C-alpha cells in the first residue's frame, strides 16, 4: 500500500480539505484510495450503517473517495464535554469520559493498538491511504503520547506534506519553526511544504517560496488559493467563524437563525439549508441579535445541560422566548430538541455535574440521560403533519441518531416523523414533537432530504406571502460537484508530478 500524510503547523490550516481533495484526485485516477485519521477531536460526528460513530471530516473524505464511510477510517474520536474532559469513542463506541490528563498520560497509547489494527484491515483492502494529522506535530508537551501525527508517519514510514495557512499570517515562520522542533528522523519524513488559503498574485509570493526551499531544504509543492464557500462538511465549530451571511445572500427573502452554543455539535445538519438561493442562514452568538428570523434552529450539543444554562445566563433564552411569543417558528435537533422540553436530567452525570436542568418548556416532554448511547441510521416519513398551519407530507426520509437521552412525553402532541427503519430493521416509532410553532426531533441530517427541506422553506415563504418554489437543489449531487471543483483547483495548484514521485 502507498501512503501520503498531511500534517499542519496548527489546527484549521486546511488539512481536512486537502486530504479530501487528494482522495478525490486519486479516486478520479482510478485508484482504490481510503482516507484515515487515527484520532479526531470534534463534536461534528456521523453514524455509519453499522451504528458506529466517527468524525464527519472522514465522512466527507470517504465520499470524495467514492466510499461508504466506515469506522476504521477514524478509529478514535474524542468529543469534548467541557472542563478539559472528553467522551472517548473507540471504534465507534463510547468507552467513557476522560480528562485530558487521563487520556494523554494513560489511555492514548493503549488506543494506539486499536489504531494499528484498523490500519492493518485497511491495508488489505486498498492501494492508497491518504492520512490526516491533527493540530501540529510539534506540540512538545503532547508528543510523547501523540498517536495521530508523527507516530503514525513513523509507523507507516509515510511521506509527509506540511501545510501552513497563509491567510492567518506567519506562514513562513510556522513552517520553519515546526520543522526546527521536529526530531531529525521526523524532519526527514517531511517531503514537501504546502501554502494554503492564499489570496492574491502568487508571483509576488515567489521570493518567499524560494527562501523557504533554501532555508528548509524542502520543496514547496504548491500554493493553494483561498477557497470560500466550498460546500463541503466542516470538521469542527472553529469553521463557524467563517460562516457569516454571504453578501449575495443578505437579500434572500427567508432568514434562518442558528443559535450557536459553546458545545454546539453537528452544525452541518444545516448546511443544506444554506445552499438554497432563497435562504440566508446565519449563526447567532451571545451578544448578537436573532433579528427578524423566519425560523430559529436549536442545534445539537455535546453538553446539553451546560448549553441550556448558557442560554439562560447569556440572555439568549429571553430572546428565544420573545421570538416564540411573536410567532417565529422554532425547530430543535437532538440536544436542541431536549432543550425545548420541560426538564433535562443527568443522574449518571454522563455529560456534566448537573443533576437536572429546567428546559425551555416549549414541548411537553422530559429527557433523562442514560449510560448507553443510541447510534443508528434511520429511515422515516412525515405523514401530513401540521406546522404553522400548513401540511407537509414526505416519504422516504433518511438521517441518523446520536444521543444518550431517553425522552418521555408528559402529554400527547403531534409527532412530525415516523421512523420506519432503524439500524436496518423495520420499525414503527413516533419521533419528535410539534406544539404550535415549536418542533423538535432527534434525527440528524433531516434537512439533507431535498423534498423535506424545500417543503419546509415553502411553508416559511407562504408566511411571507411568497409563492412556493420547486426543488432546485439536489444536495447529494451538489456535494459531488463540490468535491470535483475542489479536486480540480488543487490539481492545478499542486505539483502532482512531484507528489506522485514522493509517494512512489
Q: Which are the catalytic amino acids?
A: 334, 444
| Residue 61 · residue 35 · CB < 8 Å | yes
Closest CA to 419 of 437, 389, 443, 403: 443
For 270, 284, 300, the CA distances from 240, given in Å and listed in that order, are 12, 10, 14
Backbone phi, then psi, for 44, in 5-degree steps?
Answer: -100, 100
Rounded distance between C-alpha atoms, residue 57 and residue 3, angstroms: 19
DSSP 8-class letter at 27: H
Cα 378 to the center of its chain, rounded Å = 19
| Residue 283 · residue 262 · CB < 8 Å | no
426 three-state secondary structure:
strand
How many helices and strands (H and E) does the chain possess? 15, 26
H-type alpha helices, 464-504: 475-493, 496-503
| Residue 10 · residue 133 · CB < 8 Å | no
Rounded distance between C-alpha atoms, residue 482 and residue 272, angstroms: 13
Give first-to-last CA distance, the chain, whole Å: 10
| Residue 487 · residue 415 · CB < 8 Å | no
Rounded distance between C-alpha atoms, residue 21 and residue 63, angstroms: 11
The CA angle 155-158-163, to the nearest 5 degrees, is: 120
119 three-state secondary structure:
helix
Cell of 319: 430572546
What count of residues does the chain have? 504
The CA angle 116-31-487, to the nearest 5 degrees, is: 100
- The greatest distance separating any two alpha carbons of the chain, rounded to the nearest whole angstrom, comes to 72
| Residue 222 · residue 499 · CB < 8 Å | no
For 124, 228, 401, 504, the CA distances from 446, given in Å and listed in that order, are 35, 25, 10, 43
Beta strands in 279-355 (DSSP E): 279-284, 295-298, 300-301, 330-333, 343-345
| Residue 308 · residue 359 · CB < 8 Å | yes
Amino acid at each position: 500500500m502507498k501512503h501520503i500524510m498531511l500534517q499542519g503547523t496548527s489546527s484549521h490550516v486546511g488539512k481536512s480539505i486537502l486530504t479530501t481533495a487528494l482522495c478525490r484526485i486519486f479516486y478520479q485516477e482510478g485508484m482504490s484510495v481510503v482516507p484515515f485519521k487515527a484520532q479526531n477531536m470534534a463534536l461534528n460526528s456521523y453514524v455509519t450503517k453499522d451504528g458506529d460513530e466517527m468524525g464527519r471530516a472522514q465522512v466527507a473524505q470517504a465520499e470524495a473517495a467514492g466510499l461508504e464511510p466506515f469506522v476504521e477510517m477514524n478509529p478514535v474520536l474524542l468529543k469534548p464535554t467541557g472542563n478539559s474532559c472528553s467522551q472517548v469513542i473507540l471504534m465507534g463506541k463510547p468507552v467513557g469520559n476522560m480528562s485530558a490528563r487521563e487520556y494523554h498520560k494513560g489511555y492514548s497509547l493503549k488506543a494506539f493498538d486499536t489504531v494499528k489494527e484498523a490500519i492493518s484491515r485497511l491495508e488489505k483492502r486498498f492501494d492508497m491511504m491518504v492520512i490526516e494529522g491533527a493540530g501540529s506535530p510539534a506540540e512538545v508537551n503532547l508528543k510523547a503520547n501523540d498517536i495521530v501525527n508523527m507516530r503514525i508517519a513513523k509507523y507507516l514510514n509515510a511521506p509527509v506534506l506540511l501545510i501552513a495557512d497563509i491567510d492567518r499570517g506567519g506562514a513562513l515562520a510556522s513552517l520553519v519553526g515546526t520543522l526546527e522542533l521536529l526530531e531529525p528522523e521526523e524532519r526527514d519524513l517531511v517531503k514537501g511544504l504546502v501554502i494554503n488559503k492564499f489570496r492574491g498574485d502568487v508571483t509576488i509570493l515567489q521570493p518567499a517560496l524560494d527562501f523557504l526551499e533554501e532555508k528548509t531544504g524542502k520543496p514547496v509543492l504548491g500554493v493553494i488559493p483561498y477557497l470560500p464557500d466550498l460546500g463541503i462538511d466542516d470538521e469542527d465549530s472553529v469553521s463557524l467563524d467563517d460562516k457569516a451571511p454571504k453578501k449575495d445572500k443578505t437579500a434572500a427573502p427567508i432568514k434562518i437563525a442558528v443559535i450557536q452554543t459553546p458545545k454546539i455539535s453537528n452544525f452541518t445538519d444545516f448546511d443544506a439549508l444554506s445552499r438554497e438561493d432563497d435562504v440566508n442562514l446565519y449563526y447567532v452568538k451571545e451578544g448578537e441579535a436573532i433579528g427578524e428570523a423566519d425560523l430559529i434552529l436549536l442545534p445539537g450539543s455535546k453538553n446539553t445541560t451546560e448549553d441550556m444554562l448558557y442560554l439562560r445566563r447569556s440572555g439568549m433564552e429571553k430572546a428565544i422566548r420573545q421570538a416564540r411569543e411573536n410567532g417565529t417558528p422554532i425547530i430543535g435537533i437532538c440536544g436542541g430538541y431536549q432543550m425545548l422540553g420541560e426538564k433535562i436530567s443527568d443522574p449518571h452525570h454522563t455529560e456534566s455535574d448537573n443533576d437536572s436542568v429546567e428546559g425551555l418548556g416549549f414541548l411537553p416532554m422530559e429527557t433523562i440521560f442514560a449510560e448507553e448511547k443510541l447510534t443508528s441510521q434511520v429511515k422515516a416519513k412525515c405523514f401530513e403533519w401540521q406546522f404553522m398551519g400548513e401540511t407537509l407530507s414526505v416519504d422516504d426520509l433518511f438521517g441518523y441518531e446520536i444521543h444518550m437521552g431517553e425522552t418521555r412525553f408528559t402529554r400527547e402532541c403531534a409527532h412530525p416523523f415516523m421512523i420506519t427503519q432503524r439500524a436496518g430493521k423495520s420499525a414503527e416509532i413516533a419521533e419528535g414533537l410539534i406544539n404550535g410553532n415549536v418542533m423538535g426531533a432527534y434525527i440528524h441530517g433531516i434537512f439533507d432530504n431535498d423534498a423535506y427541506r424545500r417543503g419546509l422553506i415553502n411553508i416559511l415563504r407562504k408566511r411571507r406571502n411568497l409563492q412556493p418554489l420547486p426543488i432546485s437543489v439536489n444536495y447529494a449531487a451538489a456535494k459531488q460537484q463540490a468535491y470535483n471543483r475542489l479536486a480540480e483547483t488543487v490539481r492545478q495548484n499542486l505539483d502532482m508530478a512531484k507528489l506522485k514521485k514522493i509517494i512512489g
